[in-house]
Amino acid sequence: MNSLPEFTTQLKQYLDQHGIEWKNMRRTLHRFPEVSYQEHETTQTIIDFLTKLGWHIERPLDTGCVATWTPKNKWDATHHTVAIRADIDALPLQEEGKAKQEFLSQNPGVAHCCGHDAHTAILLGVAQTLAHFYNEELLDPSAPQVVLVFQPGEETTPGGARLLMEHGLLQQLGVDQIVALHTAPFIPTGHVALKEGMLMARPDEFELILHGKGGHAGSPHECIDPIIMASDVVTQFQTIASRQTHPADPVVVTVGSLHAGHTFNVIAEHAELKGTVRTFSKDQAELVKSAMQRIADGVAASYGGKATFTYREGYPAVVNHPEPTTHLQQAAQTANLEIQPLEKPLMAGEDFSFYQQSIPGALIFLGTGNSDPDIDSQYNWHHPKYNVDEAAIPHGVALFIQYLSTHSSSNP
């Protein structure tokens, strides 16, 4: 391998030559999005691209794939091995946006409005760049073996990451470190953000049915009003974070849906509430769950009603390990990306955390925010107008290639 400055110069030249190709790949993926665990055409597009480059493909799940440069039967599971992951699924959402008119989704009610099309295009760019560098012997022999993970089902439980870890392929390949990125509309293009430790929350879900007694709206004394119960429950749920958990522990309890009744002169029979709980540990989640059950039962009983409470565990919290976080920081600096301080964790969730339960890993936010009306990429994740500044795609490729160079013995 050449010196790091020479390697960086060669990498920049390659990025400049192929950036348009990766941009077009992102737009192709964007036009034909597929929801979680249904990413069949997306998977075939990825496999076709990788096999032409010489990568070897494994199919541990029905959709998605894992790629290695060395075939599995010649793989050295004792050699230092790192994995880079991209999620490939889209959202059940109807997109809109003037800036995306040239490549809007062709699949009604499905859209890449969380950046997974860009994640996939970036990892395909990494695959193409690595293939070139492997063939030209431009990588240091001490560089780690690389596993490229094109993961399905990040948006929907149980989570593609969980399924992959349960399959065991990454463990069989000896992966001892894993990294990923997520596009970030709240960070300008050319910047990245990451932190060691707590990065993203554990996103649990709940449903609550409050059973009352329906009747005429003019005779409330003969009824048990579930809307009154629901109002009380929603208010008391907010005391969990403020009065029942440690003030320094981030906790969110949000009721996102409340439905009761159908007309103006009838007291409903029941009220249905749905929402999310965000915490950073299983112990925290259990504390919140118990408090919610206690409140729901208590409020319902105080009005003479009943409560049916259901709580579903989501993904674990994303907690970045020290060593891969340091490697990503070094890579960002070498790739001339400005590192933006990230003082507080985000309360969004990510199934990347399932890898981190067994493998040291870190996730980094790649800035894609741009207020230019022709790009308009400052809408947040899951918004119908969400877009990605495609100038960030080569930044992501450079970040991961430089991440690999931080593991080389020739890296100072």
Give the Å distances, CA to CA, from 57 to 60, 65, 315: 10, 7, 27
Do 169 and 58 contact (CB within 8 A), yes or no?
yes
Alpha helices (H) along 106-195: 116-135, 160-167, 169-172
Beta-carbon count within 10 A of 54 CB: 11
Catalytically active residues are 87, 155
C-alpha angle with apex 242: 240 to 247, nearest 5 degrees? 115
Other beta carbons within 10 angstroms of residue 215's beta carbon come to 17
Q: Residue 101 CA to chain centroid, in angstroms?
A: 25
Q: What is the DSSP letter of 230?
A: H
Distance CA 80, CA 389 (A): 34
Report d(CA 311, CA 14) in Å as an integer. 50
Radius of gyration of the chain (CA): 24
How many CA atoms does the CB half-sphere of 383 hold within 13 Å? Answer: 13
- What kind and span of H or E run contains 354? helix 353-356
Rounded CA separation 68/377 (Å) = 33
| Phi, psi dihedrals of residue 126, rounded to the nearest 5° | -60, -45
53: β partners: none
Using DSSP bridges, classify how beta strands 361-369 and 191-193 pair: parallel, antiparallel or unpaired. antiparallel
Helix axes 282-303, 226-239, angle to 10 degrees: 150
What Cα–Cα distance (Å) separates residue 171 from each residue in 154, 159, 174, 333, 356?
20, 18, 5, 30, 12
Residues 6+ apart with CB under 8 A from 204: 276, 277, 278, 279, 285, 289, 311, 312, 313, 314
> CA-to-CA distance for 393 and 184, rounded, in angstroms?
12
The Cα–Cα gap between 259 and 250 comes to 28
